[in-house]
A and B are shown apart, each in its own frame.
Chain A
Amino acid sequence: MTGMEKAKISRLFSRMPHRKPAELSPEEETALRQKRLAKIYRKMKRQSGKKKLNRSTAGNAVLFILMGICGVFMVLPLVMILNNAVKPLDELYQYPPRIFVRNPTLNNFTDLYVLLNESWVPFSRYILNTIIITVGGMTGHVIIASMAAYPLAKNHFPGKKILFSVVVLSMMFSWTVTQIPQYLIISWLGINNTYAALVLPAWSFGMGLYLMKQFMEQLPDSLMESARLQGANEWQIFWRIVMPNVKPAWLTLAIFQFQQMWANTGSMFLRSEELKPLQYALQQITSGGVSRAGAGAAVTFLIAAVPIIFFLICQSSIMETMTTSGMKD
């Protein structure tokens, strides 16, 4: 048993329900500990065959039924978007609307394809813009927010507390009213109508730093100490030790940030048509009225599909981390 494990188990002891209050004499305490150890030993012998706790079947059934009902309701919008994309026009306009398609068709997608070829800015340009804005806004934020989160979580220095509280508090101020001052600042900086007007503010969101800091806090100090003893500098500790150990955190942050940047139409800051992202171009199609309804349904599907695919990739890597990596200490 390593020192860490021992410390963990003793921490655990202190949380157990049968714990006696602290005012025991040393002798009593030793006796208690011995009694407890004996109990553990007996239990270990009994449990050597099975490792998992008993989970009651009735409890399981209730939980799964509850989850099933909720799941059906929650997946409804996804099902709807998927079905609408392959509905022919007459079914899209059916009233009352049906959720499931009867005569699936790919016409909506061919319509969309024709439409896209007609746009006066080449469609690939919108895609490129979106990639720059989404990927730039996401990776930049994940990296610099994590860089700032590491010292806040693990080092002690003057100003640490206040910096962190300002970040947490900043999330509570309504974004609607700060938009106008933010617009003024972006104009003063002269980055209006550039990618930077969307990407740089996105790097400074408060949530990412808070999320990363909370996860980094859990890392054992011994991890950093041993790296420091081996001569690693702060950057190396951050990049080679801290970041790999909080993979679930930055993958989750990447999901949030991707979703947010992907949904950004940039209409507030980008005026040149050739800088506008995909989301903007596609919204023009969905707002095209009756004749565009089919293509619009296809667009809605495509807009939803990309973050979902990204979500699935990230989520399955989050799950993998725990099966492959043993633990952090």
Chain B
Amino acid sequence: MSMAIRNGRSMRKKDTLWHQVRINRASYLLMAPYFTLFFLFTVLPVLMSVYLSFNYFNMLEMPRWVGWANYIKLLLEDDIFIISLRNTLLFAVVTGPVSYLLCLLFAWIINEFRPKVRAFLTLVFYAPSICGNAYMIWNLILTGDRYGYLNGILLRTGILNEPILWMQTEKFVMPVLIVVQLWLSLGTGFLSFIAGLQTVDKGLYEAAAIDGVKNRWQELWFVTLPAMKPQLMFGAVMQITQSFAVADISIALAGNPSVNYSGATIVTHLLDYGSTRLDMGYASAIATILFLLMVGTNKLVQRILRRVGE
């Protein structure tokens, strides 16, 4: 490969590109099936959505071009969007890093066990993510009358005198949703960390022990984390896409719209316009703004992650 690039460089610029494409045709062939489907079913729909964000589109009539109107309305006139933006950022800032660290911590601890125990423990912690809408169980815990589990416990221990309507009281909605989101956090990132830990070369640990790594925290920082940097990057992207896109739990527990929009997130706002009010153009504009937000965060996080193990 390196020889080929060197040859390419000695030629004229126009030849270089064509030459490199030609000598790498096996690579392009391997990528062809995936990227054909990817552009067809993923990239094209995204481009169409971005186009729709400049239109009024109610899914019955043909899209009508409205220019920047959706964005202007969204950013300047839509109060609820501002609330949902604030809630989403709160989610991202709190659950994002905490979930990420939890994934890493639990994957790392589980890795110390024997393989059979490890597979079982992985299931225990992945359980909320594997059984579909497992968060519905929180409806039982948070029931607003005295029979809700949380109210029951607090009444019995004398902390409360009367039951609290958890999901109907504005100030409790976001904290509760954050707890539930954290409970759900051991998902994609967690499993990829578990797999990543399996690929760390065991020889590295022995070498590190000889070299003066004293405790397991040093071992984690100087050996394990640098060795699984690619997985850390992956986990971070997954974490960003998840914590910015919180919607299901908010809708299931607080409803959509929630009390005074206290549990509104960008995606619940999007769903409100996309599936209830059938204003697909506006929903697409929301999605585009959300996308830009995630891209920016991703840039920042990747920069931080490059410093791991230094």
Cross-chain contact of A312 among B123, B137, B310 (Cβ < 8 A):
B123
- Contact mask for chain A residues 198-235; partner B; CB cutoff 8 A; 1 contact, 0 none: 00110111110111001101100000000000000111
Cross-chain contact of A176 among B33, B122, B241, B274 (Cβ < 8 A):
B274
Q: Is the CB of B195 within 8 A of A251?
A: yes
What is the CA–CA distance of A162 and B52 in the complex, to the nearest angstrom?
24
Question: Looking across the interface, which residue of chain B has its beta carbon closest to that of A39?
Answer: B212
What is the CA–CA distance of A233 and B26 in the complex, to the nearest angstrom?
8
What is the CA–CA distance of A162 and B105 in the complex, to the nearest angstrom?
33
Decide yes or no whether A120 CB sits under 8 A from chain B. no
Which of B74-82, B165-173, B198-206, B251-259 contacts its partner? B198-206
What is the CA–CA distance of A163 and B39 in the complex, to the nearest angstrom?
10
What is the CA–CA distance of A248 and B310 in the complex, to the nearest angstrom?
27
Which A residues lie within 8 Å of B203 (CB)?
5, 8, 327
Which residues of chain B in 205-221 are interfacial with respect to chain A, using CB atoms and an 8 Å cutoff?
Answer: 205-216, 218-219
Decide yes or no whether B43 CB sits under 8 A from chain A. yes
Q: Is the CB of B137 within 8 A of A77?
A: yes
Decide yes or no whether A119 CB sits under 8 A from chain B. no
Nearest Cβ on chain B to A2's Cβ, whole angstroms: 10
Decide yes or no whether A291 CB sits under 8 A from chain B. no
Which A residues lie within 8 Å of B223 (CB)?
12
The total of chain A residues at the interface (CB under 8 A) is 110
Which of B65-73, B93-101, B289-297 contacts its partner? B289-297
Which of A27-35, A53-61, A108-116, A124-132 contacts its partner? A53-61
Interface residue SS majority, chain B? helix
Q: Is the CB of B21 within 8 A of A176?
A: no
Nearest Cβ on chain B to A278's Cβ, whole angstroms: 14
Contacts A259-B130, A318-B194 given: A174-B267 contact, CB under 8 Å? yes
Nearest Cβ on chain A to B81's Cβ, whole angstroms: 14
- Contact mask for chain B residues 275-310; partner A; CB cutoff 8 A; 1 contact, 0 none: 100001001101100110011001000000000011
Q: Is the CB of A147 within 8 A of B34?
A: yes
Decide yes or no whether A158 CB sits under 8 A from chain B. yes
Q: Is the CB of B230 within 8 A of A252?
A: no
Which B residues lie within 8 Å of A55 (CB)?
215-216
What is the CA–CA distance of A54 and B217 in the complex, to the nearest angstrom?
11
Which A residues lie within 8 Å of B234 (CB)?
210-211, 214
Q: Is the CB of A96 within 8 A of B115?
A: no
- Contact mask for chain A residues 162-178; partner B; CB cutoff 8 A; 1 contact, 0 none: 01001111111110111
Which B residues lie within 8 Å of A158 (CB)?
17, 20-21, 24
Q: Is the CB of B1 within 8 A of A156?
A: yes
Q: Is the CB of A151 within 8 A of B134?
A: no
Contacts A16-B212, A47-B209, A147-B34 given: A95-B124 contact, CB under 8 Å? no
Question: Looking across the interface, which residue of chain B has its beta carbon closest to that of A55?
Answer: B216
Q: Is the CB of B20 within 8 A of A181?
A: no
Which A residues lie within 8 Å of B106 (CB)?
67, 70
Q: Is the CB of B20 within 8 A of A144?
A: no
A-B contact pairs, 12 of them (CB 8 A): A43-B212, A51-B206, A76-B137, A148-B30, A150-B30, A151-B31, A157-B27, A172-B244, A174-B286, A179-B45, A185-B45, A234-B29
- Chain B contact residues, CB within 8 Å of chain A: 1, 5, 17, 20-21, 24, 26-31, 33-35, 37-38, 40-46, 48-49, 52, 59, 106, 109, 115-116, 118-119, 121-128, 130-132, 134, 136-137, 140, 143, 147-149, 152, 183, 186, 188, 191-192, 194-196, 198-199, 201-216, 218-219, 222-223, 226-227, 230-231, 233-234, 237-238, 240-241, 244-245, 267, 270-271, 274-275, 280, 283-284, 286-287, 290-291, 294-295, 298, 309-310
